[in-house]
């Protein structure tokens, strides 16, 4: 199975700052990677798919990039509602379509 490793585990930032989240795959997943956001007590929400395509209703401050094994989710200027856990997810090798372990973006 393809393993996705996210870093850092926790990112402590202030509102208005730029957040850069990394996801590294153990082998190439081409561009078949998505990012999800999950807030406490809520279901995940799809933000980005195919590495860089924003899902419907995803604000423009979220952008995804990368291909192959290295991917980045960037939040250009953190809003209060962006503090959450973010998961990357590959569908190159399906099943099982593995998820990363998550990066928590917390308020500094």
Partner 1 sequence: EVQLVESGGGLVQPGRSLRLSCAASGFIFDDYPIHWVRQAPGKGLEWVSGIRWNGGIIGYADSVRGRFTISRDNAKNSLYLQMSSLRVEDTAFYYCTKAISSSAPYYMDVWGKGTTVTVSS
Residues that bind partner 1 (CB under 8 A): 32, 34, 36, 38, 43-46, 49-50, 55-56, 87, 89, 91, 94-102
Closer to partner 1 by CB, 68 or 97: give it.
Answer: 97
Bridge partners of residue 75, in order along the sequence = 19, 62
In terms of CB distance, is 36 or 83 closer to partner 1?
36
Residue 23 to residues 41, 51, 67, 78, 92, Cα–Cα distance (Å): 24, 11, 10, 19, 14
Q: Which is nearer to partner 1, 41 or 80 (CB)?
A: 41
Two tokens, residue 75: 């939040």
Least distance CB 98 / partner 1 (angstroms): 8
The full DSSP string for 62-85 is EEEEEETTEEEEEESS--GGG-SE
Q: How far is the CB of 71 from partner 1 (least distance, A)?
A: 14
The residue (of 66 and 100) whose beta carbon lies closer to partner 1 is: 100
């Amino acid at each position: 199975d393809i393993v996705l490793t996210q870093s850092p585990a926790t990112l402590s930032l202030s509102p208005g700052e730029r957040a850069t989240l990394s996801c590294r795959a153990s082998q190439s997943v081409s561009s078949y990677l998505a990012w999800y956001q999950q807030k406490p007590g809520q279901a995940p929400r799809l933000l980005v798919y195919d590495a860089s395509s924003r899902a419907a209703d995803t604000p423009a401050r979220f952008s995804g990039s990368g291909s192959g094994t290295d991917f980045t989710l960037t939040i250009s200027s953190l809003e209060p509602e962006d503090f959450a856990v973010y998961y990357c997810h590959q569908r190159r090798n399906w099943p099982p379509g593995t998820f990363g372990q998550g990066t928590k973006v917390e308020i500094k």
